[in-house]
């Protein structure tokens, strides 16, 4: 099971969903959740979860194989980010994987649009999830 934590309207999820049994798309924004539902309407293996940005209390421990969060943590203050990292660790299985991008100081985020579909497929092919 994969957790997409707050990544826009599910741009990456559309590539992930066909390859896995279930994706949980989590976001703090009701608006983005609705946009993601529309953007990902062709998939029936996605659960949509509204979160508070500080914890993942709605999810049981050790159920997630992989969490990815792209371009999200730049918007979260340090205290909440530390708590959220703890929560991500809690929901991940023992051998789970957490993929997160964090900008270097003074650097801009690389937009997902700068990655090709081939880049995404190459990443998914090496995944066991």
**DSSP codes joined into one string, 18-56:** GGSS-EEEEES-HHHHHHHHHHTTT-SSEEEEE--SS--
With beta carbons less than 8 A apart as the criterion, state whether 51 and 28 touch: yes
SS3 75: helix
Q: Which pLDDT value is given to residue 128?
A: 43
Q: Residue 5 — φ and ψ, nearest 5°?
A: -100, 100
* Residue 16 pLDDT: 92
Show Cβ contacts of residue 55 under 8 Å, excluding neighbours closer than 6 positions: 83, 84, 87
Work out the pLDDT band at 107, boundaries 50, 70, 90. low
CATH number at residue 116: 3.40.50.150
The whole-angstrom separation of Cα 76 and Cα 44 is 30
pLDDT digits (tens, 9 = 90+) for 27-81: 998 998 999 999 999 999 999 999 988 889 999 999 999 999 987 877 777 788 8
Number of domains the chain is built from = 1
List the domain range (segments joined by +) for residue 36. Answer: 2-125
pLDDT at 45: 97
């Amino acid at each position: 099971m994969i957790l997409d934590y707050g990544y826009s309207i599910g741009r990456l999820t559309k590539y992930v969903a066909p390859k896995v049994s279930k994706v949980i798309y989590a976001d703090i924004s009701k608006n983005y959740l609705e946009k993601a539902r529309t953007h990902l309407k062709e998939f029936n293996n996605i659960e949509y979860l509204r979160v508070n940005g500080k914890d993942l209390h709605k999810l049981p421990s050790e159920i997630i194989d992989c969490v990815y969060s792209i371009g999200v943590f730049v918007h979260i203050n340090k205290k909440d980010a530390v708590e959220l990292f703890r929560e991500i660790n809690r929901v991940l299985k023992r051998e789970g994987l957490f993929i997160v991008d964090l900008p270097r100081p003074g650097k801009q985020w690389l937009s997902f649009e700068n990655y090709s579909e081939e880049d995404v497929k190459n990443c998914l092919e090496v995944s066991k999830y």
